[in-house]
Structure 1
């Protein structure tokens, strides 16, 4: 039943609201999510792939630090005045430089999977 009102020259109509469908009390099941469950092995693989260095890299880095410290210790053993002997000028710096080369190799080498 529509009621018509006329304002000026335009005619406005108001219709009755449509009947609502009856509300169902039956529960509706939601669809299952499409995501796959993450297994432990795939989680470990992605975690190890995300790390920039592997175990071998860290072992080489620690070895490089040990070689550098050994080089400084060798330089401190020199008994010459102001460290101008063979240990302070030749052997110690060669050992320290080899430790730094080992460090660069440890950083730049790829981790083994």
Structure 2
């Protein structure tokens, strides 16, 4: 937060739209990591092939990368 000398009202570095995109990006990244987790087995001697399914190999990392791209867009967008 910056404070102007003439104006006592503090101003934020980013605008409302920037913060909205940042929250959306964090939500997409979190969803990607949630989809990436799991697939374990209760018995360590039994192999669970669910770790190689489409959701964990393709969808989740793609969502994480999209989330990071949204974050970059939110930072680089000019505030209103």
- TM-score normalized by the length of structure 2: 0.70
Q: State the number of aligned residues.
A: 68
1:72–1:110 Cα change, 3 Å:
same
Match of 2:56 in 1: 88
Q: Using the TM superposition, name which of 80-89 and 92-101 deviates more.
A: 80-89
Of the two, which has the highest radius of gyration? 1
- TM-score normalized by the length of structure 1: 0.51
* Greater per-residue helix proportion: 2
Distance, in Å, in 2 between the alignment partners of 1:94 and 1:78 is: 18
Match of 1:76 in 2: 37
Distance, in Å, in 2 between the alignment partners of 1:78 and 1:105 is: 33
Structure 1's unaligned 5+ residue stretches are 1-37
Where do 1:1-113 residues align within 5 Å? 43=7, 47-48=10-11, 51-76=12-37, 81=49, 83-112=51-80
